[in-house]
Structure 1
Amino acid sequence: MNRDSWTVLCLAYAIGLLSTGVLELSNPNPSWQQWIAVAVGLGFFSIVAAISMPRFWRREPRWQLWLVAGLVAILAVAYFQFRIPQPGSNDISRVLEKGNSKSQIVTVGGKILTQGKLTSNQRVQFWFEAKKLENTNEQVTGKLYVTVPISKGTDLYPGRQLTVTGILYQPRSPANPGSFDFKTYLARQGAFAGLKGQQIQFKERKKAPPWGLWQLRQRIINAQIRWLGNREGLLVSSMVLGQRAVDLPHNIRDSFIKAGLAHVLAASGFQVSLLLGAVIRLTGSLSPQKQFISGLCTLGLYVGLTGIQPSVMRAAVMGVGALIALVADRKVKQLGSLLLAGTILLLFNPLWIWDLGFQLSFLATFGLIVTMPALEKRLDWLPPAIATFIALPLAASLWTFPLLLHVFSVVATYSIPANIISAPLVTAISLGGMVSATAAVIYPLAGSAIAGVLYYPTYFLIQIVQFFTTLPGSSLAVGQLSLSLMLLIYGLMVLVWLNRWWQSRWWLVSLLIIILIVVPIRYNRLNLLQVSVFATKQEPVLIVQEREKVILINSGDLNTAKYTIIPFLNRQGINQIDCAVDFTSGVNRIDGWSEIEENLSIKRFFSDRPISRTEYQSLSVGNKISIGSIEIQSINNALQLQIQKQIWLLVTESRVDATNLAMLPKTVSVLLWSGKSLGKKWLDLVKPEIAIAVSPTLSQQTRQQLQQRGIQLYWTGRDGAIQWRREGGFQKTIETQEQEANLP
């Protein structure tokens, strides 16, 4: 077979893997109907291609190859399913199944797999290989996601034997729309349970082994921190080794992400290209064979230091291709090298097809190959170095933008100018950091001295990032781009790349892409009336949307605001809250409102005391607030919302007993409360049609009281977030089994 035939087969393999996401076959146990659907669909498209493609592509390949490509795509789906991790018969997660519980206190013995990293909750996290259940002396297997208090997170290194006592839990599906799917994340890592550790006991007191990749990594990080300090030193280390290998402070990481410079912190093709280019130049006097061996050893060491990350592996495989071409004295075909690297990596681990880092790495590299030369040609009136600094981020951003919009729904407004301005600093810091890292492996003090020269470039890079993130409108929520629209946009971009007629009309395609992004999101808001009640551990948090008007009632704590409320608003394309009401008494609410203020503007804010920078107004008893057709009124210690003909009554945990029953409305459509026992007087007076309890737990007595009165119950601890829409009524985020929904 010639090159075109291999290209078709490689693309067929990738398309087969991608089809697992379209038909939701990435679940561990797909139904047979899904199997038939994907097989028939891929087979149908291969038959259509076999009939039609030879008419347009007359030379190669023949019709038989298109049928083979369909078979390859179907086999790719089967291979993907085969490689999905499944818990073994002695997996540690089976302990929860035997006890028929979601969590259990255990003591597990085993071996640490990775170094500890600090989480946003100020706990130390590491991966752990379970071997023995100390409580019952039972032998177990499996991988655990372990977090321990920061005071217990010292002297943790890969290979160390220890026992961890804590709460073994089974991860749940996302309870709120748009939230991080922790359960799927663990499953793709081969883990099916987590352990919230409280105590650690080491099985041996021996010192860490003298050599190992993690020791070299820590040696480099310590050397760069010594004279640079924690902030600048960890940033340099992250730019060299990648943020997965370095415990970078969360505020620095978040700033780079918000500025559109997240790729700077990820070990990827840029670092590999710099490293490999330096090795080839330093060994220029040696034979091609010795250059090949030197480059191969360098790539292997770098992959080991950064960890097996898809973006690094992609760059390393392409680097090996470049070394082979060097030995064979042949020119590298970049697109073919990219396609071959992708196929090899997806054969090694097909699950990487859904790794965001893998996807972004390939799209960015593809953009640099096919778009950057055209951009440089249009910028030929500029000095070559400046033209490169402008064309490089533009080319990469164009091809990653639709995917980022689909995943995050947010645009870093000043991403392009931030990338252009910071490009010289990023290049200098990366090169200097690699030289410093090499010297630190040999002599740490020399590595520290070299790193010290990078202080001011690193300092100025941080200042540039902070400048762009503090500008008005530094990030813009545009709403979630659907999968079908994202694929259509990429199809249009490929059309411009392949067809000269469309290349001359790129502006028309650009206009069409903007319309495809903006119009569907704006159209969905025309008649939108939606209430979202979120699954929180504390008091109720809800968002009311009526067309362009947005009302936020309560913010929750910092984690709720950061990981639940803001991602939801981003997916809705909301940048401004028209009315915010604080109706809680918790001390953590200040952090929640502060986080929301940093990301969105608040037009009107109602509270009983100042808890944010926004000017506030007192929500007096009896006064009404009108936002569109929605009315909000404080009734003693309860909050009443008039939404069309429905009356929603919100009562927080701290105000249930203090509420004056005589002031409550006599008819209530929806009662929203914190799950605390309300008592017969409440229910008999209010008589709600629907009750929504925002609580992880709900007493059996309360459930029985509601059931006896024929009140429909939604409970966030069981159902996840609850959404009501004018067209579709109430919907749950988590679908439960019928017997669970009818608990007495």
Structure 2
Amino acid sequence: MRLKPLLWGLLLALLLLRVGWLAFTPPQPAAGDPVLQLQAVGGPLELTLQGTLLSDPVPSGDGCRALLQLPVGRTELRFKQCPALQQGWRLQVQGRLRHPQMSPHPLLAAPAERLVRQGSFSQLQVQDFEVLQRAPTPVADLRRRMAQALVQHAGPNNGSVLAALVLGSAVVPVPVELREAFRAAGLSHALAASGFHLSVLLGVVLPLGKRLPRLGRLTLAAAAMGLFVLLAGPQPSVLRAVLMGALALAVVECGYRGKPLGILAASALVLLLARPDWLLDVGFQLSVVATAALVVSARPLELGLRRWLPGWLAVATAVPLAASLYTLPLQLLH
């Protein structure tokens, strides 16, 4: 029994060391990154760059943005209007390179901090571009077709929300107005791909393998989780959900009774040891806090609401209410 506190203490100590190392050794651009030319001239710079799109352009503020992988480093492309470009395409872009906006306070999010976590230190306001190569991207194409089918059948707004609920808003272009409406309502966490999506998928897959031996059940579950990561993308919230699901499944298959809060803490600690910068990632924060809310408070809230509401309505109200109350401070912060 004394081994558990020692193990938790070791994990926490390692995490603190990793976070401290990250704080005192912030990421720096590599030699050849275009931001170094920007620093040399001390202001915006007209440049022509070539690289590969790491994502489809997504609406952002009064324009559109997409991350471009360069031979050395990355830069965020800013478009006045969303162009018909796709992840994996190779581009030549011409425009004005600049430093992203810095945060006025360490606790407030800003483009500079967001881009550093993605390995980028600059933004390019695109004036002209040329597609050099349209590389095949079967997984992104499948994801795109699924989103387009939902939008076609349910309409632009409803279809975008449905697509985000299925695949996550990080890989689905949800209109800016809808994103802002969800944020104002305190429901931004509902659009992030996380444990809800994975639980639905495993809820369908695991009963199919009920008669299989243990190895067969684990293989089937691993395949489902791998498919989930492929479709939703390796986002922090997705990897947190997959790791937590894998740990919970392993505990159950070994004949033990899992403690959800402990499994959540273990999965979060392991991911933060690998990527301590995710501690500042909005998606990771919302995913962990919303899951903790469901584990800690959803049941007590449900029991309290049953005094005034029918059972089914108490359950339906307690889950989103708990998640919204816990994540509200984060949404106000960001």
Q: TM-score, normalised by structure 2?
A: 0.89
> In 2, distance between residues paired with 1:208 and 1:367?
42
Q: What is the match of residue 88 of structure 1?
A: 30
Q: Could you tell me how far 1:181 is from its partner in structure 2?
A: 2.2
Q: Tell me, yes or no, if the aligned pair for 1:10 and 1:339 is still in contact at 8 Å.
A: no
Q: Is the 8 A contact 2:62 2:80 kept in 1?
A: no
CA deviations over 1:232-256 (Å, ceiling 9, x no partner): 2111101111111111111122222
Pair 1:130-2:131 in alignment:
no
Match of 1:256 in 2: 182
Matched, 1:170 2:110: no
**For the structure 1 residues 289 and 150, does the alpha-carbon distance in structure 2 shift closer, same or farther, using more than 3 Å as the test?**
same
Partner of 1:388: 315
Instruction: Give a deviation string over 1:411-468, Cα, whole Å, max 9, x none.
Output: xxxxxxxxxxxxxxxxxxxxxxxxxxxxxxxxxxxxxxxxxxxxxxxxxxxxxxxxxx
Q: Which residue identity does 2:31 align to in structure 1?
A: S
Equivalent position of 2:39 in the other structure: 97
Whole-angstrom distance in 2 between the partners of 1:340 and 1:270: 19
Question: Paired residue for 1:193?
Answer: 122
Question: Is the Cα contact below 8 Å between 1:288 and 1:327 reproduced in 2?
Answer: yes
CA distance in 2, matches of 1:315, 1:221: 22
Distance apart, 1:391 and its partner CA: 2.4
Q: Distance in 2 between matches of 1:384 and 1:12?
A: 44
Q: Which residue of 2 aligns with 1:218?
A: 144
Q: Once the 2 structures are TM-superposed, how far is the Cα of residue 149 of structure 1 from its aligned partner?
A: 4.2
Counterpart in 2 of 1:318?
244
What is the letter of the counterpart of residue 147 of structure 1? R
Partner letter of residue 121 of structure 1? D
Q: How many residues align?
A: 332
The question of whether the paired residues in 1 share the 8 Å contact of 2:59 and 2:173 is answered with: yes
What residue number does 2:253 align with?
327
1:260 Cα offset (Å): 2.2
Q: What secondary structure sits across from 1:203 in the alignment?
A: strand
Q: Deviations over 1:559-590 (max 9, x none)?
A: xxxxxxxxxxxxxxxxxxxxxxxxxxxxxxxx
Shift of 1:10: 3.0
* Alignment correspondent of 1:3: 4
What one-letter code is carried by the residue in structure 2 that aligns with 1:2? L
1:147-166 equivalences in 2 (<5 Å):
147-150=78-81, 153-154=83-84, 156-166=85-95
Identity percentage over the alignment?
34
| CA distance 1:4–1:313, shift in 2 (3 Å) | same
Query: Would you say the 8 A contact 2:75–2:124 is kept in 1?
Result: yes
1:296 equivalent in alignment to 2:238? no
Provide the C-alpha distance between the structure 1 equivalents of 2:100 and 2:250, rounded to a whole number of angstroms: 45
SS at match of 1:370: helix
Q: Partners in 2 of 1:225 and 1:105 — Cα distance?
A: 38
Asked if 1:109 is matched to 2:50, the reply is: yes
Q: Of the candidates 169, 194, 199, which is equivalent to residue 273 of structure 1?
A: 199
Give the aligned residue type for 1:127.
Answer: L
Instruction: Indicate the SS of the match to 2:183.
Output: helix
Give ranges in structure 1 of 5+ residues lacking alignment: 17-74, 132-140, 409-744
Secondary structure of residue in 2 paired with 1:157: coil
Counterparts of 1:225 and 1:384, CA distance in 2: 34
Question: Kindly tell me: are residues 225 and 376 of structure 1, through their superposed partners in 2, closer, same or farther at Cα, counting changes over 3 Å?
Answer: closer
Structure 1 SS opposite 2:32:
coil
- Aligned equivalents of 1:127, 1:304: Cα separation in 2: 19
1:105 Cα deviation from its structure 2 partner: 0.8
Q: How big is each residue's C-alpha offset from its partner over 1:605-660, in whole Å with a ceiling of 9 and x where there is no partner?
A: xxxxxxxxxxxxxxxxxxxxxxxxxxxxxxxxxxxxxxxxxxxxxxxxxxxxxxxx
SS in 1 for 2:283: helix
Q: Does residue 295 of structure 2 align to residue 375 of structure 1?
A: no
Q: Is the Cα contact below 8 Å between 1:288 and 1:326 reproduced in 2?
A: no
Query: d(CA) in 2 for partners of 1:304 and 1:82?
Result: 34
Task: State the AA in 1 paired with 2:131.
Answer: F
1:217–1:118 Cα change, 3 Å = same
1:108 shift after superposition: 0.8
SS at match of 2:34: coil
Question: Residue in 1 aligned with 2:73?
Answer: 142
**Cross-structure match for 1:509:** none
Q: Hey, what does 2:267 align to over in structure 1?
A: 341
Specify whether residues 384 and 200 from structure 1 end up closer, same or farther in structure 2 by C-alpha distance, changes over 3 A only: same
Equivalents in 1 of 2:95, 2:167: separation in Å? 32
Once the two structures are TM-superposed, the CA of residue 351 in structure 1 deviates from its matched residue by: 0.5
Indicate the residue corresponding to 1:361 in structure 2. 287
Distance (Å, rounded) in 1 between the aligned partners of 2:276 and 2:188:
25
Between the aligned partners of 1:201 and 1:403, the Cα distance in structure 2 is 40
Amino acid at match of 1:395: A
* Distance of 1:188 and 1:84 partners within structure 2: 10
Q: Secondary structure at the match of 2:70?
A: strand
Deviation at 1:279, TM superposition (A): 1.2
Contact 2:103 2:113 in 1 (8 A): no
- Tell me how far 1:380 sits from its aligned partner: 5.0
Which structure is higher in helix share? 2
How far apart are the structure 2 equivalents of 1:278 and 1:255?
A: 31
SS in 1 for 2:155: helix
In 1, the alpha carbon distance for the partners of 2:105 and 2:211 equals: 60
1:256-311 deviations in Å (ceiling 9; x for gaps)? 22222222211122122111112112332333322211211111221222222222
Runs of 4+ in structure 1 deviating by more than 6 angstroms, as ranges, are: 175-179
RCO greater where, 1 or 2, for CA within 8 Å and sep 6 or more? Answer: 2
Please tell me whether the aligned partners of residues 51 and 90 of structure 2 are also in contact (alpha carbons under 8 angstroms). Answer: yes
The letter for the 1-side match of 2:11 is C
Question: Would you say the 8 A contact 1:289–1:327 is kept in 2?
Answer: no
Match of 1:640 in 2: none
Contact 1:83–1:351 (Cα < 8 Å) also in 2: no
**Among 158, 162, 171, the residue aligned to 1:236:** 162
Q: Alpha carbons of 1:284 and 1:178: their partners in 2 closer, same or farther (altered >3 Å)? A: closer
| Structure-2 separation of matches of 1:174 and 1:342 | 26
Distance in 2 between the 1:178 and 1:293 partners?
42
Shift of 1:367: 2.2
CA contact (8 A) 1:239 1:266 kept: yes
